[in-house]
Amino acid sequence: TQFYKMEIDPSNPDIILGGTQDNGTIQTVGDPDNWEKILGGDGFYAEIHPDNSNIIYAEYQWGQVRKTVNGGANWIGIGYDFRDDRTNWSTPFIMDHNNPDILYVGTYRLWKTEDAGNSFVNISDDLTQGDDGSSYHTITSLAQSKINSNYLLVGTDDGRVHFSMNEGEWVDISNGLPIRWITSVAFDPFNENTIYSTVSGFRWDEPESHIFKSDDLGENWIPI
């Protein structure tokens, strides 16, 4: 079993679930030797409502996001607004730190719901290097600052990182990073101006991986 992402229930740390290659989204409740599949397909990102363990968001490959309100017994599809967008095999989505009814989903642009997945609106233009007819040029990582929830980061599989402080204006802060797959972006939990990005060269047969840090919201990057 190969996990892509893991999630711990904020209200019950005995509940751990994650998306896995070939084996769907699986969950354990206090017993690491026993896992139950709660959603099929290939599993990737998942989010659990912080106050209600029965509300879970998970997905199949290519951004097929699902929602359950009964702990995985039944699922409904959400995100039909972006079903025709280019999506990554592992399509990232995150839950807002302050409002669990808000989710962000990355295709080649960023989508947002404020009503727990009933409807989505796009809040960016194309944040990649553009469409060449392949499954490439997609968003691979999202982050929201825990210090300032208006701050968002987006990373792509073609080396782009964008920052926004108001969900409407996006600044390309890729300069100084290699044109490689952005595997994750993150905000520092103590300094709102400090951000990080991890980079993989696997697609280009470059085995070295890198972590980059910026203390000025992406104006300058240093390898750490």
Determine the Cα–Cα distance for residues 66 and 50; give it in Å rounded to an integer. Answer: 17
What average pLDDT does the segment 46-50 reach? 98
Determine the Cα–Cα distance for residues 178 and 198; give it in Å rounded to an integer. Answer: 11
pLDDT, one tens digit per residue, over 82-116 is: 999 999 999 999 999 999 999 999 999 999 999 99
Residue 117: pLDDT above 90?
A: yes
Determine the Cα–Cα distance for residues 138 and 151; give it in Å rounded to an integer. Answer: 20
Instruction: Specify the length of the chain in residues.
Output: 224
* 209 band by pLDDT with thresholds 50, 70 and 90: confident
The pLDDT value given to residue 168:
75
Q: Note the helical H segments in the chain.
A: none
The backbone torsions φ and ψ at residue 116, rounded to the nearest 5 degrees and listed phi first, read 60, 30
Determine the Cα–Cα distance for residues 177 and 164; give it in Å rounded to an integer. Answer: 18
* 157 band by pLDDT with thresholds 50, 70 and 90: very high
Choose the weakest-confidence range: 35-39, 113-117, 165-169, 180-184: 165-169
**Average per-residue pLDDT for the chain:** 96
* 204 band by pLDDT with thresholds 50, 70 and 90: confident
* 167 band by pLDDT with thresholds 50, 70 and 90: confident
The pLDDT value given to residue 207:
76
E strand residue ranges, the chain: 3-8, 15-20, 24-29, 36-39, 47-48, 56-60, 64-68, 76-77, 93-95, 103-106, 110-113, 121-122, 139-144, 152-156, 161-164, 170-172, 181-187, 195-201, 206-214, 222-223
What average pLDDT does the segment 35-47 reach? 97
The pLDDT value given to residue 187:
98
Q: 3-state class of 161 per DSSP?
A: strand
pLDDT, one tens digit per residue, over 119-148 is: 999 999 999 999 998 889 999 999 999 999
pTM score of the predicted model: 0.96
Question: What would the two tokens of residue 102 be?
Answer: 């808000």
